[in-house]
A and B are shown apart, each in its own frame.
Chain A
């Protein structure tokens, strides 16, 4: 004698395929979310990516995107599951089963499916991270910082997501059971969700709106700060909203009209277009989510080439193999000692050049913050600059520059990028030992890439140099030296040189270039606490001389060509790993969503294909219809997502200094190649999906 429970179990067994699809979708969502949050909240990553830094912000932004994508995907999966389930529930209700009779079984089933898939996803998330991380260490790069440490508090994100998944599914079940129209429940599976047909202007207007939104959102903070002398709140990011409206319009156009105008054969895509249009809402949602994930994936992967290419070009273009500088109160290797050390490695050095420099205080307009608002204020001791004399510059570089007394030049790169680091409104320089000053004014840039940078050098006349250096103590004086290797360099020597140099410095030099000694003195004199003495500042340690933050930020970090070339991956390993990981996660999610969408189209429209076959449609015709739909699902998100991110990157590059320099162009070219590679991956999955669709439709 069959009971209701046994009946439900039998029906569940018959619906196994649908349940498996739901299980798979939830499993993937939870796996990706768990893996991402495990990575995001890993102490290893949090230690490397500075709090409030751009990398951390990018990471969080893409995390939010991925979270959004997974939420939409899960909601979609539960909707899909219930579309199939509805016919069964509707039939039982039509035959007299009350809600109270059906509810326990339905809720038991959805909670069981959601629970199992979520637990499996969460459990698989950690091995997934472990495999990916250690695969990266094994096959790409390993460094001492890459010891994977996980903070299991990240499980809170997965737990919240699991609750969301279960709640969403229970809500769908509740809504299904509480509908008053049983006929609607029975026909839920075949219910169309057509979208309103907009004009053909919709797509082009969407593209324009996306451009407009991107420019508006990107430029708005700058304009806001200029207008209101205050930092904008996060709400200003709402100005990016037109991007999403535009994206929706593009996808709507894709579903309703498509992008090919078939003037000669307007009926050619009629059937495929109609099929998509009548499931328009779901299709548009899916296309948007895929696009957002692909954009996130592209954004993450761009980080690597943009960083790498500029680094490679900069290192390759260096005129000397070695450059190091130090304070005169430190006991540091001189030319002879270096030559002796080099000979131990069978090497010899050549063209050793050296010049003294001074660290001086300067006046300037500085930004004084009061909460969110700020104002500019002139300060006599605004910060420090490293100053070379004209003759010192000549001794180092061989270049002659005429500097008139009372003028100062800034040494910048040839393309004058990153000039925002430099101070061009200095009116006097201060000897920090005697507090004597000399008046100066900005006289333009002198180009020498090797000496440029955030803690770069300024140039004054020999006479001014002589005058201001009088009475300056050794701790404010320094020496900068360049040299080349005679013949091939040795990595072992470079390592030895670097570590010997590092251990030669005293603890008074154990700080980053962002720690300004003049600002510290000014703050002390004003009775204020200097920010560099607070926890906001990243501490550096000689003990971790190979750590990325030490190599990136130490104020006396030497430039060593062979070391920078070989250790690039090591220095940036965590960054590379993190962004590569994000890209993989987003790509996987986008591929799975596109695949699931295509298979749903197949399942939902099977009867249409059967009817077409009965009407005499050839297999070739039906295959073309399949390809036409799958093509839109894959092609448009790839084009829009990747295109939008490429455009945004160009915008960012332009936003830095208003131009695209060689390294940026080269980086963008590499990004383009990577995009082509990613598109090829999508192409392969598209082909696989189409084959699965053919098989499902027996074509």
Chain B
């Protein structure tokens, strides 16, 4: 469903160019739950931002649901973001002036499609993620975990092809992190969502089907979850990360 080929991205600082992604290749299948891990500066967030069409990339191609994301104009990219992508930020990015329900409905409001079906979907998503009781509250009135789950509900309101999450548990305690990861699991299980998550949290990553390890702007390893316990997968992850760090 998502194909990334030879993706390059560098940042300019004055006259200097700093390459961050140096030819990333990967693919994501439908209903997969994938995590990307790697040390700071490895290009995880940049990769995610390129897929989300938040920043332009230099070379390579990204194909989402059969559509190539290169050379699209700003309006077309906005449509892709709205209809085919869902995004969960580390710091939630809920709009303070709107209630939780309104926040969940924002992608629909942008499309001018707030109909009964949208309201029903918002309600069901909030119930699914255990935040129905916060529907009429404002973001400032709820906990961090609830805010992030509201953000997950928002990301799924338009039934996107893929849900992209950037360090979704980065600002949360372990208990709240757990509820957010459970929300992702529910989304995949009950709604058939495809999830692509960047994280530092090996515990959160251990819930995924596959973990891609990124180093110096390249995919250096991929770990597939076998018929193993979550703890065993997490241990394998930690070992791989340790090996990656030591070979650097």
Q: Which A residues contact B (CB, under 8 angstroms)?
A: 1-4, 7, 10-15, 87-88, 91-101, 180-183, 186
Tell me how far the C-beta of B154 lies from the nearest C-beta in chain A, rounded to whole angstroms: 7
Decide: A14 near B82, CB < 8 A? Known: A2-B114, A182-B54.
no
Flag whether B177 is at the interface (Cβ < 8 A): no
Cα–Cα distance between A120 and B126 once the two chains are bound (Å): 45
- Asked if residues B97 and A96 are in contact (CB atoms below 8 Å), the reply is no
Binds A, one of B104-112, B184-192, B205-213: B104-112
B102 and A4 within 8 A (CB): no
Are B82 and A96 in touch, CB under 8 angstroms?
Answer: yes
Rounded to whole Å, the gap between the CB of B189 and the closest CB of chain A is 24
Residues on the B chain within 8 Å of A91, using CB: 93, 95
Q: Which residues of A contact B82 (CB under 8 A)?
A: 95-97
Would A183 and B105 count as touching, CB distance under 8 A?
no
Q: Which of B82-121 contact A (CB under 8 A)?
A: 82-83, 85, 87, 89, 93, 95-98, 102, 105-107, 109-112, 114-115
> Which residues of the partner chain A approach B111 to less than 8 Å between Cβ atoms?
96
30 sample A-B contacts, Cβ–Cβ < 8 Å, listed by A number = A1-B114, A2-B105, A3-B114, A4-B109, A4-B112, A7-B98, A7-B106, A10-B98, A10-B102, A11-B95, A12-B97, A88-B95, A91-B93, A94-B52, A94-B54, A95-B81, A95-B107, A96-B80, A96-B81, A96-B83, A96-B111, A97-B82, A99-B74, A101-B78, A101-B110, A180-B55, A183-B49, A183-B54, A183-B55, A186-B89
B79 touches A (CB below 8 Å): yes
Pair B112/A98 contact, Cβ less than 8 Å: no
Which residues of chain B have C-beta atoms less than 8 A from A97's C-beta?
78, 82, 110
Complex CA gap A10/B97 in Å reads 6
Which of A1, A10, A94 has a CB less than 8 Å from the CB of B87? Answer: A94
Q: How many angstroms between the C-alpha atoms of A101 and B158 in the bound complex?
A: 18
Q: Does B75 contact A (CB under 8 A)?
A: yes
User: Which A residues are CB-close (under 8 A) to B115?
Assistant: 1
B112 contact set on A, CB distance < 8 A: 3-4
Q: Which residues of A contact B80 (CB under 8 A)?
A: 96
6 additional A-B pairs beyond A3-B109, A94-B89, A95-B81, beta carbons within 8 Å, are A7-B102, A7-B106, A12-B97, A96-B82, A98-B74, A182-B55
Q: Do residues A95 and B87 form an inter-chain contact, with CB atoms below 8 A?
A: yes
Q: In whole Å, how far is B95's beta carbon from the nearest beta carbon of chain A?
A: 6
Q: In the complex, what residue of chain A is closest to B55 when comparing beta carbons?
A: A181
**Complex interface: chain B residues within 8 A of A181 (CB):** 54-56
What are the residues of chain B within 8 A of A182 when measuring CB–CB?
54-55
Alpha-carbon distance A99/B81, docked complex (angstroms): 13
A71 to chain B, nearest CB (A): 29
C-alpha gap A36/B35 in the complex (Å): 63
Bound Cα distance A32, B80 (Å): 48
A100 CB contacts on chain B under 8 angstroms = 75
* B residues with CB within 8 A of A: 49, 52, 54-56, 74-75, 78-83, 85, 87, 89, 93, 95-98, 102, 105-107, 109-112, 114-115, 154, 158
Contacts of A4 in B (CB 8 A): 109-110, 112
Pairwise interchain contact B78-A96, C-beta atoms closer than 8 A: yes
For the complex formed, measure the closest distance between the CB of B181 and the CB atoms of chain A, giving whole angstroms: 22
Query: Which B residues are in CB contact (< 8 Å) with A186?
Result: 89, 93
Nearest-CB distance from A681 to chain B (Å)?
38
A104 CB to nearest chain B CB (Å): 13
Residues of A within 8 A of B83 (CB): 96
- Residues on B with beta carbons closer than 8 Å to the beta carbon of A88: 95
Q: Are B97 and A15 in contact, CB atoms less than 8 angstroms apart?
A: yes
**Residue from A15, A101, A183 whose CB has the most chain B CB atoms within 10 Å:** A183
Q: In the bound complex, do residue A13 and residue B110 qualify as a contact, i.e. CB atoms below 8 Å apart?
A: no
User: Complex Cα distance A204/B59, Å?
Assistant: 50
Q: How far is the CB of B146 from chain A (nearest CB, A)?
A: 18
Bound Cα distance from A93 to B79, whole angstroms: 10
Contact (Cβ within 8 A) A14 B55: no
List, in ascending order, chain A residues with CB within 8 A of B107's CB: 95-96
Least Cβ–Cβ distance between B213 and chain A, in angstroms: 23
- Residue A11 contacts which of B75, B81, B97 (CB distance < 8 angstroms)? B97
Smallest Cβ-Cβ distance to B87: which chain A residue: A94
Query: Closest Cβ of chain A: how far from B108's Cβ, in Å?
Result: 9
- How close is A492's CB to chain B, nearest CB, in angstroms? 71
Q: Nearest Cβ distance between residue B151 and chain A, in whole angstroms?
A: 10
Per the bound structure, the CA–CA distance linking A554 and B85 in Å amounts to 84
Asked if B102 and A2 sit within 8 Å, CB to CB, the answer is yes
Closest to B79 in A: A96
Q: Which partner residue on chain B sits nearest A91 by CB separation?
A: B93
Residue pair A98, B54 in contact (C-beta under 8 Å)? no
Q: How far is the CA of A15 from the CA of B111 in the complex (A)?
A: 23
Query: Are B54 and A7 in contact, with the CB atoms below 8 A?
Result: no
Contact at A180–B102, with CB atoms within 8 Å?
A: no
Chain B residue contacts of A180, Cβ below 8 A: 55-56
Smallest Cβ-Cβ distance to A15: which chain B residue: B97
Minimum CB distance partner of A186 in chain B? B93
By beta carbon, the residue of chain A nearest B111 is A96
State the Cβ distance, A415 to closest chain B Cβ, in Å.
Answer: 60
Do residues B79 and A98 form an inter-chain contact, with CB atoms below 8 A?
yes
Q: Which residues of B contact A2 (CB under 8 A)?
A: 102, 105, 109, 114
**Please, which residues of chain A bring their CB within 8 A of the CB of B110?**
4, 92, 95-97, 101
Residues of A within 8 A of B106 (CB): 7, 92, 95
Which residues of chain B have C-beta atoms less than 8 A from A96's C-beta? 78-83, 85, 107, 110-111, 158
Instruction: Identify B96's interface contact among A7, A14, A95, A98, CB under 8 A.
Output: A14
Q: In whole angstroms, how far apart are the Cα atoms of A446 and B244 in the complex? A: 97
What separation, in Å, do the CA atoms of A92 and B106 have in the docked complex? 8
A10 to B101, CA, bound (A): 14
A183 to B83 CA separation, bound complex (whole angstroms): 19
CA distance A11 to B83 in the complex (A): 23
Looking at B80, B110, B112, the one whose CB has the most chain A CB atoms below 10 A away is B110
A157 to B115, CA, bound (A): 51
CA distance A646 to B154 in the complex (A): 62
User: Of B75, B98, B105, B109, which is within 8 A of A98 by CB?
Assistant: B75
What separation, in Å, do the CA atoms of A186 and B109 have in the docked complex? 20
Q: What is the CA–CA distance of A180 and B74 in the complex, to the nearest angstrom?
A: 8
Q: State A131–B95 Cα separation when bound (angstroms).
A: 44
Q: Please indicate the chain B residues that have their CB under 8 angstroms from the CB of A14 in the complex.
A: 95-98
Q: How far does the Cβ of B23 sit from chain A's closest Cβ, in whole Å? A: 21
In angstroms, Cα B107 to Cα A98, docked, is 11
Bound Cα distance from A11 to B82, whole angstroms: 19
Chain A residues near B105 (CB, 8 Å)? 2
User: How distant is B162 from chain A, measured CB to nearest CB, in Å?
Assistant: 14
- Complex CA gap A183/B78 in Å reads 14
Would you give the shortest CB distance from B182 to chain A, in whole angstroms?
23
CA distance A87 to B114 in the complex (A): 23
Residue of B nearest to A90 (CB): B93
Question: What is the CB-to-nearest-CB distance from A612 to chain B, in angstroms, rounded to a whole number?
Answer: 19
Nearest 9 Cβ contacts at the A-B interface: A96-B82, A14-B97, A98-B78, A182-B54, A96-B81, A1-B114, A97-B110, A11-B97, A98-B75
Cα A183 to Cα B198 in complex, Å, equals 16
* Complexed CA–CA distance, A452 and B42 (Å): 84
- Complex CA–CA separation, A186 to B91 (angstroms): 11
| Complex interface: chain A residues within 8 A of B98 (CB) | 7, 10-11, 14
For the complex, what is the distance from the CA of A3 to the CA of B108, rounded to whole Å?
A: 9
Residue picked from A2, A88, A96, most chain B C-beta under 10 Å: A96
Nearest CB in chain A: distance from B103 CB, A: 10
Chain B nearest CB, measured from A523 CB (Å): 66
Cα distance, A186 to B106, chains bound together (Å): 16
| Bound Cα distance A28, B106 (Å) | 36
A96 to B42, CA, bound (A): 27
On chain A, the residues within 8 Å of B95 by CB distance are 11, 14, 88, 91-92
Query: Please, which residues of chain A bring their CB within 8 A of the CB of B93?
Result: 87, 91, 94, 186
> Shortest Cβ distance from A97 into chain B, in angstroms?
5
